[in-house]
Amino acid sequence: MLKKTWKKKLLSLALVSTIAVGGISTVLPEQEVEAKGKPKGKDKAQNVIFLIPDGFSAAYATNYRWYKGEDTVLDSMNIAMQRTYSANSNITDSAAAGTAMATGVKTNNGMISTDPTGKELKTILEETERKGKSSGLVATSTITHATPAAFASHVASRADEADIAPQLLDNDVDVILGGGQKYFTDELIDEAKDEGYQLVTNKRELDRVKKTNKVLGLFAEEGMAPELDREDTQQPSLADMTETAIDTLKKNKNGFFLMVEGSQIDWAGHANDAAWAMKDSEAFEEAVIEAMDFAKKDGNTLVVVAGDHDTGGMSVGGYGNGSANVEMLRDVTATGDYMASKLNKKRTNAKKVLKEYAAIDLTKAEVNAIKNADNPASSINQIISERASVGWTSTGHTGIDIPVYTYGPGSELFTGTMENTDLPVNMAKAMKMNFKPGK
């Protein structure tokens, strides 16, 4: 449940909201950075929690604020911007972006923590482990997907998920939570148990994790369910997984590094599914709140929130309506894919399905559009986006700059317009670690 303590209390927060809306990078006054980003008297981060809302941009942040109806937890944090291009394209994919954010080195699209020549690159997670810290990876995709993989594996292609899974164990990642059961063979599971991992496969088992330092949670055969559809499963939320990860990792007195990915904001963007995008943004915010609650009590934890790229080219307003109507998405209770699965063979029940799951009355033209569509889910998503006045320019990634939000010791290092390769370097600086990218 979202806490009311995150509502706007200071005029300075309004300035941050303005920055996020316009996508403008600015350097906040020193005293404001101190108040907003760094607890007094703390100059070293013992822990780093890096939360990545995959596909999330300033447009998502703005639409989500309208969807929520009040300021979000991100609006209370220090803000910078990052450039996301890869080594071989001005539009990155998640593999190259994840590699840059994990290693401090640009690589080609599709490559996981190897440089364009194939050389393996040391990651910030691996470096923190060498310093005696614990580590964790959390995602709502397969845990072997591009972004989490970039922090603890090295492969030529992001498609090699079966080769990524054993590397997560070989790298001794202490907490591994997400989907991707299909990539963990019985032999690999037995190996994990022998190495002291507690295996969990549903929310109930995750809630019972207490006296252990190592957890392997695999909650779906492939990716986990979208937040809109999660109630039909026994899967934990992203916030549930984040809370368990922090509670497990904080036992190490040397500190920890935790990466948490809200994977399906990106998937929603690819589908141009505005309701899915907003609901998974909400789930992601709840995970950020878990991290911020811990960081504020702990005083030694740097929290960094940064999407890896924009997906879908979302806009605030669109279709010539002259205003946004994002709040209507609160009444949508299923993804476009799920609604399409409820259509009968001839799609004659489209009006009933959209009324039940999206609380809208379709026009005759909209009913016909769904009936005649090659992809009914896409048609449903377009209709809902038009009703919400959420525009899209693409079903792929775009190359725009992305906001970076920070709180805690070292947050003042994240200012202006940065390269995505600066992120792990600054995290290491905050921890007083000597991290040399590519070395």
> Other CB atoms closer than 10 Å to residue 299's CB: what's the count?
14
Say if residue 244 carries a ligand binding annotation: no
Structure token pair of residue 346: 């001839």
Instruction: Decide if 113 is catalytic.
Output: no
Say if residue 147 carries a ligand binding annotation: yes
Residue 148 in 3-state DSSP?
helix
Distance between CA atoms of residues 77 and 154, nearest Å? 32
Say if residue 154 carries a ligand binding annotation: no
Distance between CA atoms of residues 186 and 189, nearest Å? 5
Say if residue 308 carries a ligand binding annotation: yes
Distance between CA atoms of residues 308 and 265, nearest Å? 11
DSSP 8-state assignment for residue 197: P
Residue 47, beta-bridge partner list:
301
Are residues 303 and 407 in contact, defined by beta-carbon separation less than 8 angstroms? yes
Q: Closest Cα to residue 188, out of 170, 202, 200? A: 170
Q: Closest Cα to residue 226, out of 277, 150, 289? A: 277
In DSSP notation, 253-319 reads TT-EEEEEEETHHHHHHHHT-HHHHHHHHHHHHHHHHHHHHHHHHHSSEEEEEE-SSEES--EEB-T
Q: Closest Cα to residue 13, out of 62, 81, 76? A: 76
Say if residue 309 carries a ligand binding annotation: yes
Distance between CA atoms of residues 243 and 49, nearest Å? 12
> Which among 94, 135, 141, 281 is annotated as catalytic?
94
Q: Closest Cα to residue 296, out of 38, 8, 7, 29? A: 38
Distance between CA atoms of residues 117 and 156, nearest Å? 10
Say if residue 266 carries a ligand binding annotation: yes
Say if residue 397 carries a ligand binding annotation: yes
Altogether, the residues listed in the chain come to a count of 439
Angle at CA 282, nearest 5°, toward 280 and 286?
115
Residue 406, beta-bridge partner list:
78, 304
- The amino acid at residue 98 is G
DSSP 8-state assignment for residue 317: B
Say if residue 270 carries a ligand binding annotation: yes
Residue 331 sits at φ, ψ, to 5 deg, of -85, -5
Residue 122 in 3-state DSSP?
coil
Say if residue 144 carries a ligand binding annotation: no
Binding-site residue ranges for Zn(2+): 54, 266, 270, 308-309, 397
Point out the residues that are catalytic: 94
Residue numbering of the annotated binding site: 54, 145, 147, 261, 266, 270, 308-309, 397
Residue set of the binding site for Mg(2+):
54, 145, 147, 261
